[in-house]
Structure 1
Amino acid sequence: MGRVSTWPAVAAVSLALASAAAATSRPLVLTHTRTLTADTDTDGDGNDTEWWWYLLIPCFSAVVGWITNVIALQMTFYPIEFFPSCMQWSQIPGQPISYFVIAGWQGIIPSKADKMARIVTELMTSSLIDVREVFSKLDPCVMAEEMREGLEPAIYRILEDVANAEMKSAWVMTPQHVKQEMCMAAAERIEDFIVGFVQELQTNIY
């Protein structure tokens, strides 16, 4: 989360440095080149410039290129959520920018995560994986045994949620020992339920 919150500052500083380097490199090189040319050009043909000044060109280019690459990578993956969040309403669906262009930014990859996930899922389920075949290899009894341990502690909570949603008044008046007996009965039949659920899933999977 730290990188998400600090990326605007990193991008702004990097962009400022890149702009400053690009803006000052050429005048600086030209100024010093002309100065040296005037000082060292003895025959007036303009060809006596110190050769090492030309090395500044790739050096400045490397600095500017490195900074812009850092900015590009940061803006590809960060921020995860649209920044600033107060302008999220203006974001173009599926795009990293807003309708106001400079009003905010979301990383290119995060902004297209939904589209990418749908494409990958469709590709895997239609071309790479036979979903029916995968589910047909599941053993309902093994699934029930594996899931029982995790479901048993949640039986009372599930039963209470369903009862409160469907018949709240009756559930409130039900004695506690009756509720516990209902939970015990549900726990005894949970494996049968899971087996039936997996079998039905295997039959109706598309």
Structure 2
Amino acid sequence: MMEALLTEFIDNLWLYLSMPVISGIVGYGTNVLAIKMMFEPLEFIGKPPFLGWQGIVPRRAAKMAAISVETITTHLISQQEIFARLDAERVADELEPVLNDMVENIVDQVMTEYEPGFWEALPQFVKRQIYQRVKRDAPRLINEIMQQLKLNISQMYDLEDMVVTKLCEDKALLNRIFSEVGAQEFTFIGRSGLYFGFLFGLVQMLVWLFFQQGWLLPAFGLLVGYATNAIALKMIFSPKEPVKVGPVTFQGLFMKRQKEVSRDYGRLVSSYVLTPANIVEGILKGPYSDKVFDMIGRHVQRAVDEQTNLAKPFVTFAVGTQTYREMKARAAEQLIASLPTTLKHIEDYADEALDLENTLSTRLESLKPQQFEGMLRPAFEQDEWILITVGAALGLAVGFFQLVVMFGG
């Protein structure tokens, strides 16, 4: 019998040797495809809701972003701490030069709009006194606004809304965070498919040599496509804690790289999500922006009253009380409209003061494995059954191909 088996093997040597090779290619291909399906395409392609595909991460962008926010705000940093790190006086000092440049334009625009004749007739030295007085008190105004913002931060700013909005609007950025943080794990998934697929193929070759049943090849294809994905995903996250077996220590690949992953995550989030520009945009465009603008408007109008206090009876007489109120409101609007451009001048200081990259990296590195797992696990667990099923289906198809084409059906 052994002689007959040996003859069968030699006579069909290339067919038998092709089994582990094809099995390895199937394992690698299905795993790489699974990774692609996680991130691509960014938008749904096909006929919704079922005929077509959208990458798992971009399709569940809101939930993925919410999970990232929960990790950030629960374990890494709060919005109160972010704003506590910004010194109000330093912010005022940083903004003073650009505010000085804006003062004359804002005053001229408002006065020319409401009372061009009165403003034109006003002596130049009086105008200069008004400019100088406003410039002198502008830093105090900014300081007061910053202090009020800090005291009422929970009513003025929503960090979670800002992060979720940013990541949902920019799905490519969300993909980048997950793909770069888990880059080595995704590479492992592809390679493990090749290795495990080859090993399964060797078993398939030996079984086929002894039992040439038609169902074996499709069954092994199904097993390879399923198992290579399932095993790779398991090895990434399990075991969470190091487990020593003799001289060898086992731990999930992602968990083992906690220090390196923490550094990458801190860099990405501080560079593209929790940036000074995005934080400012969250203040000016977030759900509480009306409250912020109302607060700024009240401060600006009060400052206008203070600046014109000595001449107020004359001013209100000349322009009318209602017009004077409108002028104050218009001055506040002009300042608020210029804020996005103005606040860009504090970005360098804010980067230095917040030190978010170091903060996020250090705190993420100290998380317990169960908490740390939440950084990447959500990218898989939502629809990982789909990835495994697709891998199994492709493996089954290749098994039928082997049976029909290579072994004559």
Q: Could you state the TM-score of these two structures normalised by the residue count of structure 2?
A: 0.28
Indicate the structure whose relative CO is greater, using CA pairs within 8 Å and at least 6 residues apart.
2
Q: Give the structure with the larger helix fraction.
A: 2
